[in-house]
Amino acid sequence: MEEKIRVSKLLSELGLCSRREADSYIEQGLVTVDGEVVNELGSRAFRHQKIELQSGAKAQQASRITVILNKPVGFISHFDDEQEYQPAASLITTDNYFASPLDKGRNPRFNTRGLAPAGRLDIDSTGMLVLTQDGRVAKLLIGENSPIEKEYLVRVEGALSFEDLDRLKHGLELDGVVLKPAQVSWQNEDQLRFVLREGRKRQIRRMCELVGLKVLGLKRVRMGRISLGALPPGKWRFVRPEEQF
């Protein structure tokens, strides 16, 4: 017998919003099930029912900002409760805005409330960090089954055999879990290119350790179809409406 599921969970599974956003929309009466408004938290529905966000919810989503930061060494991705390290979000200021004619007059003085990293980048790593107010973007980039590729350039020290290069591509495990297949190739004589579809903690550094390599530098240069490009270190830009991960 089919069981009813929380509407907020169904909205998240459909990729329409995050569960937290879904609860907010339900409270505002901006969600319908088979055309009927639901406004009680914890409301449930069957999977076969038609669940939709109303125009008010879509307008709220359209106003949410997503930015790309070229994170320098020394900043952490997430907020530090002990305030020992500076979070990358502290770099999202008007002074660090990298202006572009493509932004068509967008104002870098926006309300950063709710702006959070969609993924991690270690304190000693650099490159592309996405910060967003949009739960759909966060789910797409860091959801459990995210289809989004992340590309890294990794400067290494040590010898790498053909067999170990193959192991980097597929065959290694971390914490008892086999890693998903990866694309790994030499970019130049001391730099590897990694393309991953997962983001375990310090994954690339630990993978390299398993094959006897020492990581000297790591930079993320692409997430999905959006590249870091010429964005200078410490600077940020808007993700534009025509850009899709």
Domain boundaries of the chain, sorted by first residue: 5-62, 66-142+226-238, 150-223
Q: Specify whether domain 66-142+226-238 bears CATH 3.30.70.580.
A: yes
CA–CA separation, 225 and 150 (whole Å) = 10
In the annotation, is 122 catalytic? Answer: yes
Task: For 5-62, give the CATH class.
Answer: alpha beta
pLDDT at 80 (0 to 100): 60
Q: Of residues 122, 124, 166, 175, which has the active-site annotation?
A: 122
Q: Which residues of the chain have pLDDT under 70?
A: 79-83
Q: What is the DSSP letter of 228?
A: -
User: Which homologous superfamily does the CATH classification assign to the domain defined by 150-223?
Assistant: Pseudouridine synthase (3.30.2350.10)
CA–CA separation, 23 and 160 (whole Å) = 50
pLDDT at 83 (0 to 100): 64
pLDDT at 232 (0 to 100): 97
pLDDT at 61 (0 to 100): 75
How many other C-beta atoms lie within 10 A of the C-beta of residue 158? 14
